[in-house]
């Protein structure tokens, strides 16, 4: 699996491969990939404030992945 083809689950921060992901959601920000249906449900049910927190952590985790080139685990 090519690391550059991975994305980050915005809820838990786990690295996921879009081609292998079955939990996907679309909104005004684009397409989002999740490690599980549970994370997808949490994201879809979240209010705007909670989603803002998800995106703040997502951005930090994405920077970590790009810098270290290693997979991130759920935290």
Decide if 27 contacts 1 (C-beta within 8 A).
no
Q: Please tell me which residue, 38 or 64, carries the higher pLDDT value.
A: 38
Please compute the mean of the pLDDT values over residues 5-27 and round it to a whole number.
89
Domain boundaries, the chain: 3-67
Give strand pairing partners of 23.
34
Q: Give the pTM.
A: 0.70
Instruction: Of 75, 74, 73, 71, give the one whose Cα is nearest residue 5.
Output: 71
């Amino acid at each position: 699996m090519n690391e550059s083809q991975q994305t980050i689950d915005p809820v838990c921060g786990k690295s996921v491969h879009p081609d292998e992901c079955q939990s996907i959601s679309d909104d005004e920000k684009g397409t989002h990939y999740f490690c599980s249906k549970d994370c997808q449900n949490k994201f879809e049910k979240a209010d705007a404030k909670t989603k803002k927190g998800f995106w703040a952590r997502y951005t930090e985790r994405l920077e970590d992945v790009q810098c270290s080139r290693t997979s991130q685990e759920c935290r």
